[in-house]
Amino acid sequence: MATTVAAKKKAVVEKVEDKATVLTDVKGYARKIWLAGLGAYAKAGAEGAEYFKELVKTGEGLEKQGKKRVNEQVEAANSQIETQIKSVKSGVSEVKGKVEVQFDKIEKAFDNRVASALNRLGIPSRQDVEALSAKLDELNALLERVARTQ
């Protein structure tokens, strides 16, 4: 029995020693982590201003590149829009010309039909009135000459 108690005691001592070793190791790692954090903080404080300036400079460069790309894309889009506008304007002009020709044809046909209908009713056309007016002017001129000679 003495051996079993001694063996158990020895096992307990070994477990306690193992736990103490693990605890010591954890404390050592925790201290190293703490020191690494302090070192990083000190280094960031020393180099932070320069690093910040470098980040700002890099950001400015990226901003310029972004603006340049946006401007290029806007110019390309405007160019495409202008091309489409020119195309649409030429199409509109072409259609407008065709429509005007058709309206002229319709107007002439309408005028001819109205003149024909008025002629059938015995109403003189504009040309007839103008011809009569010209003849009246000639007659008036003749009458004035005759009146002067007498």
The whole model's pTM is what?
A: 0.38
Q: How many Å apart are CA 36 and CA 45, to the nearest integer?
A: 14
**Each residue's pLDDT tens digit, 3-20:** 676 666 666 666 666 666
Split into its structural domains, the chain has a count of: 1
Tell me the residue range of the domain where 62 lies.
2-149
Question: What letters, b where the CB count within 10 A reaches 16 and e where it falls short, cover 74-95?
Answer: eeeeeeeeeeeeeeeeeeeeee
**Each residue's pLDDT tens digit, 129-150:** 899 899 999 999 999 988 888 7
How far are the Cα atoms of 52, 60, 64, 98 from residue 67, in angstroms, in the given order? 22, 11, 5, 46
